[in-house]
Structure 1
């Protein structure tokens, strides 16, 4: 991806990174945030696209409405280059069936405008379906111990104990009332729900699904009310954020390290802020690291320069989470 130059104070990024990163400066990436201009693009790509295998032959694809100033009349879901689903504007998730077991698939989503034209393609997400199991008519046991807490006005976190199944749980489906709104891998017992409305009461439950597509009874229901205000809660912020400077080849660099927030999926991008202004967007390619993350960028040649740095993660719904604590570093210090 091409990199645009910025003022000398924030010559970003000339970076060495612990993972294979693609970087784009402010305005280069496809991810909108709350500071975007009110008029926005006429029709942009759907955000927060995720894909979760529900069985050896099905995948659950989810996304959020794109930023748009034109009326959206529907969505098209693609498996590779093949259109597999056409949906109304009110639908933001779908189960794609008829797939093969033990196969990797890639999905994208496009929005359709009122004139019938299609918007840009969303980011590509990949998923691998599990292996087929022998005949299995036994559903998993219900997930127990469902607990939840709100994170600010727009997010909530659910946790539960692992469900039992004779063949193994493939995924957990999260329900708001009677509507499935989210899915996470069967190895997880936590889900971060974003895009909620401030000051609103919700009822959530969880069901387990096995490789034969048997679904458990629903867990107990947890009732949560989001806080007033539109802020993201601290649970959406990167954890254990550290920053340090180093000197190399006659110049100074800032090295960042952090732990991704537990969103129930990969975090595809981060926004890095330097001295109160967004400096760069860091994006991973096909697979984001699941554990600790690191990023390094050039800051200049001046010794004794003092800088403040923080970052925030892109959430599953395409919005940006809470900021990490702000760290202060001094070159040559």
Structure 2
């Protein structure tokens, strides 16, 4: 596995003052005792997107979303993260939230994960703000290019044998050889500056052309060579942009319209009325925006319960005789979000306190009429001693809707994917039934004959954008973002899909007894596996499957030498 010299960064102390440096040096007095490899302290208000995960860093993408490194997320659910402070010893300007969910980017070598927070962060002040993440535009416009400046921040170690600082650090660095299809971005040591242990998952940013906005391009992953020297790697955010948008609903930075950083005004006059035992109606005054408001997020307490395009929403599935609070925010097409509206309060009408009997479970749940993106659900009605007021619809173990009837169409699904659903019933007193049976269905996809006439991928061929190939039974198309999976030739999407690239990857992740290597080596290729201390633990002539059962659990680096070139990736032995 790759050595993860988790990165902490130093701000360049230099005669030439670029705007990046000026942003990192907000006029505070230098503290010579805190310099790290020619760097100095920076203030959180100049880098308000920085998040503190304890032993790792992260980046704020939105009120409930943090981007970090995949190798940082073990055991993160339920843990608190911090934002908005310069010194770990003084968090008076900061705020915290608890990690609700971890979502790993499905790419073994990319080392990227999203953290969903249980409580939204307040991003209206100067100490905590979101940053837009990169699309392919950062490469096509030359913002990410060998020799170009980039900037990193974090609380990592001051050196390979040093402890971590109390004060946030920053460093101006330069990109190494890099391209959009890379799983990780390479950054070179610059005048003695390089990140170090403890900054994994932290941000790497660049400016756009007019220096009006910083853009997140990487999350600290690890390094190679001498610890905290030589060069480091950041997970390539642009390569994961479409996945991040699908998971979060937040759009990436794009050059077209990319200068819109102005958030909508906050919704006003939020009111809660038309109260019943199980519903409350919400209305508010529309927000305004310099480009246009695209929708509103509705929160019950601190939990988002819905998104709408208009200025009305009905909260359903509530419990009788219970007090609730609501708030709303507006968002625009660029992903900017407003401050929260005023808080509206209401209490549902009292129910029959003597009613403690739950409805019967819904019966005969079926899932059918599947398309590429939708599945229709229907079920038999429940009964109750007083009356059923609604049903909760669950996708896996997450409730996705509440409805009054016995039908629901699930939307926004992925083609050629299997899903499972279940339903429960509710009454006016807040009693809930047992779950129904579980129904499963698979979305459709256009797979008939898609691979007919398409040539197989060949190592060493120079492909152009728009070219299609067949690789390991799957159809791929080369885009500006790299190889894009189109479909499986037989219509059955495999869980282990390796793109046709002249790079190395491994599976399964993590591995236990055997490590399978996906690569196209020359005849005399050699390999070795190196532990976190730099020791070679296995080596020999290249083979596609390596027995790793005798290795201790941990992170390792796989290095393959083929045709005079070195190819490297990391893996975890469990």
Scaled by the length of structure 1, what TM-score is found? 0.38
- Structure (1 or 2) with the larger CA radius of gyration: 2
In proportion to residue count, which structure has more strand?
1
TM-score (norm: length of structure 2): 0.24
- The structure, 1 or 2, with the larger RCO (C-alpha pairs under 8 Å, 6+ apart) is 1
